[in-house]
Amino acid sequence: MQMEATIAQSVSEKVKTSGAEAVIRSLLAEKVDLLFGYPGGAIMPVYDALFHYQQALKHVLTRHEQGAIHAAQGYARATGKVGVVMATSGPGATNLITGIADAMIDSTPLVCITGQVGSHLLGTDAFQETDIISISMPCTKWNFQVTKAEEIPAALAKAFYIAQSGRPGPVLIDITKDAQFGEVEFEYSPCQNVRSYKPEPPINPEAIEQAAELINSAKRPFVLFGQGVILGQAEEEFKSFIEKTGIPAASTLLGLSALPTDHPLNVGMLGMHGNYGPNKLTNECDVLIAIGMRFDDRVTGDLSRYAVQAKVIHLDIDPSEINKNVKVQVPVLGNCKETLKHLTQAVKRKSHQAWLEQFRAYDQIEHEQVIEPELKPLGPELTMGEVIRQVNELARGEAILVTDVGQHQMVACRYTHFKQTKSNITSGGLGTMGFCLPAALGAKLGTPDREVVAVIGDGGFQMTLQELGTIFQTKAAVKIIILNNSFLGMVRQWQQLFFDKRYSSTEMVNPDFVKIAEGYGIKGRSIKQRSQLKEAVAEMLDHKESYLLEVHVGKEDNVFPMVPTGASVSDVRLS
Amino acid sequence: MCKDFTITVFTEDHIGLLNRITSVFTRRHLNIESLNTSESQIPGIHRFTIVLNTTEEIVQKIVLQLEKQVEVIKAVYHLDEETVFQEITLFKVSVEQAAQHNLVERLIRDKNARILSVEQDFMIIEKTGHKAENDDLLEFLRPFGLIDYVKSGRVSLIKPDEELKNLHELVNEAKQANNNQSFN
């Protein structure tokens, strides 16, 4: 009761507190109930203040700051809320950088709080001093150094506002130790406006009209959707739009799960290892409608041969994305939740059956040449695809899939059928190996009622496997599948295809992963045989606690289709 | 085709913003020709004048990425003919040589330079103008005991009135819509 009273007070009443306690009270005022982090000298006052608030604000002690930030990312991606991470100065802060860069490129809302040496020591090469403001500047949406306790509530209010408004991203607040020890008349008012910052550009009705005209007269329109649909919570608006216009829609890697995989207008995934039809037909459509996606080079291949025949409509919240990579005829700026509503009203109800059939015809080819051999292989070795499909079926398509980076990531995203949004968590833009395990932990803690399956390669697993300790300690029931091919598979695939099979530093001699899991009190099992697969996956999913399943797969299997670097999307290879 | 573009950026006056602005150029491996920062006509708003030699396509992208920064209020770019601009160069010249070659009158009459200070051994000459004019004077002075020189970045005002008015309106509007925080 007393705790609740304190929390209520933290939002409304003026109270005198330490800067450190002001940090905690600000987090509570922002309705944060979970944060990830790692203590150390320069952040100790905040950790000390946290001690009294443990009931209201749960702190997850990871085993490395990189683990903390990836966990916060997984939490943010699964819940749609801001992920919060805390670390000390110096190495604690620099260990966050990979995750900050990852969150920046994948537009994940994060508030990172770092301790800093006392303000009188700034610039003196003090113990564990690093200029984290300068270091994090190019990979944060905004950052700020607090040197006075009284700045803390407003700085955090601004941080939360900036992190989650407009195109979300990571924000870092660096707090000197004297500011944490200092006193402040605590009063919190959430930030609603920053004068230099316009998170959502105003909607231009003319652009909507022009886009509608183009769409109405299109013969072969094609929709590309990205994570913007999920970040804008525009899944329903998006579905209404494609259903009214009858336009086939393909997803970017991060757009997956915004539209159910089995929706009749969902024609699959774009990009380097995306589906055959969407890649081929990008170069045959007459109007390309890009929604909340940024034409990443892994999606476009060679830009000079990318959809040059098409008129391009680009819906995005970020004006700097317009014409960044692909020349756009009609930019539609704004939050796609709003712009899609307007656009859907302005377009005619149509169907493009014959055009959709063309996608299905390519599906057939891909099915025969790639999917069938992957899912029903003739050889004795298990393929990644059949493992993923087995998991997907037994989890009834309802699990959150968290992946790392590499072959297993592409296979998992290709072969998982998603039913609901926010079900695909992966490091897309930065391609951060080691992302998966901590991100899965964060996703599970954020959505305890959902099944969370982490699919990881043997390489990436060993980059952050220390987070098994956090999983053990928090009892987060994360299901972990290691697809072990004893290689850095994607690099090996490139070596095979483009470097005459010179397997330079890609083969791995791996430890006994099940024993490692056992050491952390996590039940594990390793399988090699097809006959064991279904039962082993079922055992993993049925297990109430965390579980690690290692599956040995073909050592030199490749992921196809593939758009080789520098090739046009329509030169996508099936083998 | 590469040309000189003058980028004008209006920002909050916050520590570290210079880093944030230059990193937009650094990450694209672009060299800044000159950079000047100062207060602006609007109290509390800072003004950057940046000269970049590049293509219009790149400068368009740069300006949008600058404007994307949370503390940037507005970024615009202009060609030389759309702005009035000036640079300043200070020269340190040997007094003896200047007297020997009768430099002073030539400097003032022909080159429109000013003498800022005369000391026992050297004098300081100031020349403001376009870069080419200042560089012309530099070459003129080289043979005559030029001891040292320093150049400023470009400062520039935008010619089209309407655009300037819009800019100021925007900045004022931003200022009025100030948040209710105790700092910003």
In the residue annotation, A65 being an active-site residue is answered as yes
Last residue of a domain, one of A123, A157, A186: A186
Other beta carbons less than 10 A from residue A543's beta carbon = 15
Q: What is the pLDDT of residues A65-99, one digit of tens each?
A: 999 999 999 999 999 999 999 999 999 999 999 99
Angle at B182 between CA B179 and CA B183, to 5 degrees: 80
Residue A208: exposure state from Cβ atoms within 10 A (0-12, 13-18, ≥19): buried
Interface test with A, best of B30, B70, B73, B76 (most A CBs within 10 A): B70
* Boundary-marking domain end, from A120, A154, A186: A186
Q: Is residue A499 in some structural domain? A: yes
Q: What are the tens digits of pLDDT across the range A363-380?
A: 999 999 999 999 999 999
Tell me the pLDDT of chain A averaged across its residues.
97
- Please report the pLDDT score of residue B177 as a whole number: 62
**Co-location of A215 and A344 in the same domain:** yes
Using only the alpha carbons of chain B, give its radius of gyration.
20
CB-based contact (8 Å) between A116 and chain B? no
Indicate yes or no: CB of B174 within 8 angstroms of CB of A157. Answer: no
Q: Which of A145, A195, A319 sits opposite B179 (nearest CB)?
A: A195
Q: Give domain status of residue A420, yes or no.
A: yes
Instruction: Find the residue in B nearest to A194 (Cα).
Output: B179
Residue B41: the pLDDT is 84
Q: Which residues of B touch A196 (CB under 8 A)?
A: 11-12, 70-73, 174
Residues of B in contact with A154 (CB under 8 A): 181-183
Tell me the CATH number at A225. 3.40.50.1220
- The whole-angstrom separation of Cα A125 and Cα A20 is 24
Chain B residue nearest residue A196, CA to CA: B73
CB contact under 8 A, B73 and A192: no
pLDDT beyond 60 at A295: yes
* Interval B59-73: pLDDT, tens: 999 999 999 999 999
Q: Which two tokens stand for residue A67?
A: 């683990």
pLDDT of the residue at A3: 53
Give the model's pLDDT for residue B101: 87
Site from A162, A195, A303, A325 to mutate, B interface, most B CB atoms within 10 angstroms: A195
* A164, A213: one domain: no
Residues in chain B within 8 Å Cβ distance of A157:
181
CB < 8 Å from B in window 11-70 of A: none
Whether A158 and B182 lie within 8 Å, measured CB to CB: no
- A181-191 mean pLDDT: 97
A237 and A177 within one domain:
no
**Contact present, B31 and B70 (Cβ < 8 Å):** no
Cis peptide before A561 (omega within 30 of 0): yes
- Would you say residue B164 has pLDDT above 70? no
Percent of chain B with pLDDT over 90: 73
Q: Is residue A112 part of a domain?
A: yes
Are A321 and A420 contained in the same domain? no
A39-70 burial: b if 16+ Cβ within 10 Å, else e = bbebbbbbbebbeebeebbebbebbbbbbbbb
| CB-based contact A150 B181, cutoff 8 Å | no
CA of A320 to nearest chain B CA: how many angstroms apart? 5
Query: Does A214 map to a domain?
Result: yes
Cβ of B182 and A150 within 8 Å? Answer: yes
Same domain, A401 and A291: no
The number of domains in chain A is 3
Assigned domain for A369 exists: no
B82 CA: distance to closest CA in chain A (Å):
24
Question: Is A154 in contact with B183 (Cβ distance < 8 A)?
Answer: yes
Strand partners, A479: A453, A547
Q: What is the 3-state secondary structure (H, E, C) of A57-95?
A: CEEEECCCHHHHHHHHHHHHHHHCCCEEEEECCCHHHHC
* Residue of chain B whose alpha carbon sits nearest to that of A320: B64
Question: Percent of chain A at pLDDT above 90?
Answer: 97
| Domain match, A176 and A99 both | yes
In a shared domain, residues A399 and A483: yes
- Interface contact A320-B179, CB threshold 8 A: no
The answer on A150 and A215 residing in a single domain is no
Is A177 catalytic? The answer is: yes
Q: Which of A55, A127, A236, A368 is catalytic?
A: A127
Q: Does A502 touch chain B (CB under 8 A)?
A: no
Chain B neighbors of A155, CB-CB under 8 A? 183
Q: How far is A196 from chain B (nearest CA, A)?
A: 5
Distance from CA of B46 to the nearest CA of A (A): 12
pLDDT grade, residue B184 (50/70/90)?
very low
Tell whether A305 is covered by a domain. Answer: yes
Q: What's the complex ipTM?
A: 0.93
Measure CB to CB from residue A196 to each of B16, B26, B73 and give the nearest one: B73
Q: A255 and A347, same structural domain?
A: yes
Q: Indicate which CATH number applies to the domain containing A488.
A: 3.40.50.970
Query: Would you say residue A547 lies in a domain?
Result: yes
A156-160, A199-203, B176-180, range with the lowest pLDDT: B176-180
Per-residue pLDDT band at B57 (split at 50, 70, 90): very high
- Among chain B residues, CA nearest to A137: B20
Q: Which residues contact A157 (CB under 8 A, 6 or more apart)?
A: A26, A29, A30, A188, A189, A190, A191, B181
Provide the 8-state DSSP code for A378: S
Residues A226 and A137 in one domain: no
Specify whether A128 is catalytic.
yes
Supply the pLDDT for residue A154.
98
DSSP state, residue A416: P
Same domain, A278 and A425: no
Q: At residue B183, does pLDDT exceed 50?
A: no
Confidence class for position A292, pLDDT limits 50, 70, 90: very high
Q: Tens digit of pLDDT for each residue in B79-126? A: 999 999 999 999 999 999 988 888 888 888 899 999 999 999 999 999
Task: For residue B42, name the pLDDT band (cuts at 50, 70, 90).
Answer: confident
The DSSP symbol for A368 reads I
Disruptive mutation site among B45, B176, B179 for chain A (greatest number of A CBs within 10 Å): B179
Q: Do A192 and B179 touch (CB under 8 A)?
A: yes
Whole-angstrom distance between the N-terminal and C-terminal Cα of chain A?
A: 64
Q: Are strands A34-38 and A58-61 parallel, antiparallel or unpaired?
A: parallel
Q: Tell me, what's the pLDDT at A11?
A: 58
Q: Spell out the domains of chain B, with CATH numbers in brackets.
A: 3-83+159-176 (3.30.70.260), 84-151 (3.30.70.1150)
Structure tokens at A277: 């039809």
Q: Is residue A157 included in any domain, yes or no? A: yes
Q: Identity (one letter) of the amino acid at B178?
A: N
Same-domain pairing of A59 and A120: yes
Domain boundary among A302, A324, A359: A359
Domain boundaries, position A98: 2-186
Q: Does A318 touch chain B (CB under 8 A)?
A: yes
Answer for the pair A443, A78: CB distance below 8 angstroms, yes or no: yes
